[in-house]
Chain A
Amino acid sequence: MKDLTCRVLVVGGGPGGYVCAIRAGQLGLDTVLVERAALGGTCLNVGCIPSKALIHTAEQFHAATDTASETGLSFGKATVDMGRNVAWRRSIVDRLNRGVAGLLKKAKVRVVTGEARFLDGKTVEVTDGSSSYRINADDVVIATGSDPVSLPDVPFDGPVLSSTEALSLTEVPDRLVVVGGGYIGLELGTAFAKFGAKVTVVEAGDRLLPQYDSALTKPVADRLKSLSVTVHTGTTVVSVSKTGGAVTLQLRTPDGTERTLEAEKALVTIGRRPNAGSAGLSELGLDMAGPAIAIDDRCRTSMRGVYAIGDVTGEPMLAHRAMAQGAMVADLLAGKKRKWDVRAFPAICFTDPEIVQVGQTAEEAKQQGIEVKVSEFPLAANGRAMTRERTDGFVRVVAEKATGVLLGIQAVGTEISELSAAFSIALEMGARAEDVAATIHAHPTQGEGFQEAALGVMGHALHI
């Protein structure tokens, strides 16, 4: 048993933990990071990055096989070597892993590999095979992330996959059932559909992506239909049986009848659970907010000197939230004044088309008693969208009626995610519709849709 002491101990090397550690190191704090698996956490290894790589190649494959295109292009028979595709994705992940390791080293962070177990609010024990450490710190940051939730009594094995296994499939399954129509299930389900799998989505709610309004999700639902994806909403899984190389799901439909569905693989994406109970965390007796560790606006837990960041603190479980919290906590630990002061929190679904939501919806603003003006610009009137053969979607701006101050922006469209930067900056800077309208947006880009929607708030959109 080796004893280590440090100023800051970060447990978990995902986007929350590694960003916190790097920043703490940059600020001159003696920092130790403990990670049991690979640096970069869920996001880098089995989340954001590999999923987006999969989505990218799926779209390319689909474009090459799209016979409906009127562009005059045609390709020979497209094929995919999924094994190589997985290896290619792995290489991106490896490069980023090494990048993170390099950044940590440069910031003089000591990285300890192994499973951490909390002995108390200041001490963890780390075991890695034969070697073990006891690490004592002045301040501790819990960044243990989250794990996928499985169906009751149906563990992830064989043909029943979590997103992690789905991302390492070396063959495209003939038939794939996706249980759970949230963004992770739809992103992966769409990708496999583009690779030629027969995909069925089973969602218990009455529509897909229930946290977004129906106008935003409609283009996604339409696209799924054109990709021959079957969607069963209001449908629950009653039982799952694994039979040889396949899986059979018993479903209950909204009218109460039961039906069976057979597939080679079932991908279960019904949510993620904060890693807040294991690793001796429950013995710390921290205050909880449901399954997550409760935090205040400085990511402080109920125990002094113990902070929590990222997925372990609950929704929204997104990498950029974890990173922003990590950087904030490092600043706080270095004695800077900080608090969670975020007005524009972007959430993106990398579905097809993509959905971006930043700031408030009209509904949320109205609930606060704000009178709003809503303006929507359809991409069907956007030149760039036409040149890319995809005119489904729109940009919608919600502004305060009296002042034109932007309150929120929602958009759906192909690769519209890149506009989230413009949306967030406008909101954080406190822009009015007039400011956006008076800013020249290059032609031809989908960004012009943002400018047009802002003009619409002022009552004079040009191109509709």
Chain B
Amino acid sequence: MGRYVVKLPDVGEGIAEAELVEWMVEVGDTVQEDDALASVMTDKATVEIPSAAAGIVTWRGGEIGDIIAIGSELVHLDVPGFDDSGPKDASEQGAAEPDSQPSPSPQSPTPPKEPKPARSEAVEPPNQVKLSTTRVLAAPSVRRRALEAGIDLARIAGSGPGGRVVHADIEKADQNRRTEPGQAEERPNEEVRVIGLRRKISERMSLSWSRIPHITIVEEVDVSALERLRGDMNARRKGDGVKLTVLPFLMRALVIAIGEQPALNATFDDEANVVTQWGPIHIGIATQTDTGLTVPVVRHGENRSIRSLATELARVAGAARDGSATREELTGSTITITSLGPLGALATTPIINHPEVAIVGVNRMSVRPFWNGNAFEPRMMMNLSSSFDHRVIDGWIAAVFVQRLKQLLETPALLFAEMEK
């Protein structure tokens, strides 16, 4: 029996670390070569790490939610007949020259520095008081109540002298967490760790929201003509052709409008103060999946017909939903569309897909009365809610863009006429 070390392999170009999102094995499990050991998540793709050998799992290198460096030890296996008599200080060597290949690399029998529980005060010399003594003043009973209630003392403003946290503060903090006093007993509070895709989404949303001053324009579009055309096209659709939604038409409109206003098909590197206007138009489509929001990308919208846009959209969105999308299919958009379909509401305030500068949101379609100068007429109406990075897109530019989209969608023939050019 020898100890065989599986390290976290290189999971994508330029990626230095990945988040552990799932363990497929427990310590003690027997695995075969190529069995999945764990799932890690990088920028946008989730990758399963296969075992490079057959053996028994003796150690796992982290907990769900941990960020793990490429090349660090992921799993230890006891492998029958595997010779682990490496150099005696191999554990140090292993750390010094991370082996990015998941291929056999003999390791010292000494386990690496155990990453499990952090070693505590308990094994430290007696007279160590953590700095927090000076930060959080609280009696032992108060500290224990906080621990039991799952309250982080450091986050509580103590009401006692000099910021001392007293029992009343814990009670207050505990009560504040209960939305409806009295009902809290019936359903226990639950802490849900923000990990994996959710953490990625959270980080990206905060980044966008905190960095980008958004200007949002809501405009109504009369889609009666578009809807008639769409109905016709779907009726004449061949057996295997995808059903057209409104999105490929909007994508086509975007391509045309961007042709006139390339500033909207851009990313803004606000650290370098450089706006890059992209030649190709790669349209991100915000898509709800079981684990959360992802943005698959329809590449080169400028070279595609409406049918091609529809087919490609169906393909990448499907891949995103069933988790088979590649990193390539989930990155690189230059402008984004977000649509909640029938849930699309009257208006929304879309958050820009950082570092892009524009996002177009599609709202619900419905028949609304429209004043044609003489009488109210029932028309099929739909709102577009679009946000722009106001640092680099002036309101006027944004308004021109939205008006152009409106015009193109209200007179769908233009979507095809422009294509002739």
Where the two chains meet, the residues of A that have a C-beta atom closer than 8 Å to any C-beta of B are 211, 287, 289, 292, 294-300, 302, 313-316, 318, 321, 325, 336-347, 357-361, 364, 368, 370, 400, 403, 405, 407-408, 427-430, 432
Contact = CB atoms under 8 A, between A and B. Distances in A.
Interface in B352-368: none
A325 B121 CA distance: 12
A325 B117 CA distance: 16
Given A296-B119, A429-B139, A339 B147 contact: yes
Chain B interface, DSSP helix/strand/loop, else mixed = loop
Contact of B127 (A289, A338, A345): A345
Chain B CB within 10 Å — which of A321, A338, A342, A361 has the most?
A342
Contact of B120 (A295, A337, A407): A295
B164 interface: yes
Interface in B82-124: 111, 114, 116-123
Chain B CB within 10 Å — which of A337, A347, A427 has the most?
A337
Nearest to A347: B126
A287 B114 CA distance: 8
Closest 4 CB pairs of A and B: A296-B117, A297-B120, A430-B137, A316-B126
B139 A430 contact: yes
Given A325-B122, A346-B126, 18 more contacts: A287-B116, A292-B123, A295-B119, A295-B123, A296-B119, A297-B118, A297-B122, A302-B116, A302-B117, A336-B148, A340-B120, A341-B147, A345-B126, A360-B127, A361-B127, A408-B127, A429-B140, A430-B138
A341 B140 contact: yes
Contacts of B131: 368, 370
B133 A297 contact: no
A408 B129 CA distance: 8
B30 to A, nearest CB: 18
A315 B125 contact: yes
Contacts of B164: 430
B125 A296 contact: no
B134 interface: yes
A318 B148 contact: no
A297 B128 contact: no
B147 A338 contact: yes
Contacts of B122: 295-297, 299, 313, 321, 325, 340
B125 A316 contact: yes
Contacts, number: 112
A141 B164 CA distance: 36
B133 A313 contact: no
A289 B137 contact: no
A429 B143 CA distance: 10
B147 A359 contact: no
Contacts of A295: 117, 119-120, 122-123
Interface string B145-176: 00110100000000000101000000000000
Contacts of B111: 287
A282 B227 CA distance: 76
Nearest to A359: B129
Contacts of A314: 123
Contact of B121 (A340, A403, A407): A340
A98 B370 CA distance: 95
Contacts of B114: 287, 294, 302
A113 B133 CA distance: 43
B144 interface: yes
A344 to B, nearest CB: 7
Contacts of A336: 148
20 contacts: A287-B114, A295-B117, A295-B122, A295-B123, A299-B122, A302-B114, A302-B116, A314-B123, A337-B148, A338-B144, A339-B120, A342-B121, A345-B127, A345-B128, A360-B127, A360-B128, A360-B129, A370-B134, A428-B140, A430-B137
B165 to A, nearest CB: 9
A427 B129 contact: yes
Given A339-B147, A400-B134, A407 B118 contact: no
B389 to A, nearest CB: 42
A298 B119 CA distance: 10
B162 A403 contact: yes
Contacts of A342: 121
B127 A298 contact: no
Chain A CB within 10 Å — which of B119, B122, B134 has the most?
B122
Nearest to A358: B127
B117 A297 contact: yes
Nearest to A368: B131
Given A341-B144, A359-B127, A430 B133 contact: yes
A139 B116 CA distance: 19
A400 B120 CA distance: 24
Contact of B119 (A211, A289, A325, A358): A289
Contacts of A289: 119, 123
Contacts of A294: 114, 119, 123
Contacts of B134: 370, 400, 403, 405, 407
Contact of B117 (A300, A357, A427, A430): A300
Contacts of A318: 126
A364 B147 contact: no
A343 B129 contact: yes
B143 A341 contact: yes
Contacts of B127: 345, 347, 357-361, 364, 408
B123 A298 contact: no
B267 to A, nearest CB: 42
A394 to B, nearest CB: 17
A27 B6 CA distance: 43
Contacts of A408: 127, 129
Contacts of A297: 117-118, 120-122
B148 A407 contact: no
A337 B137 CA distance: 20
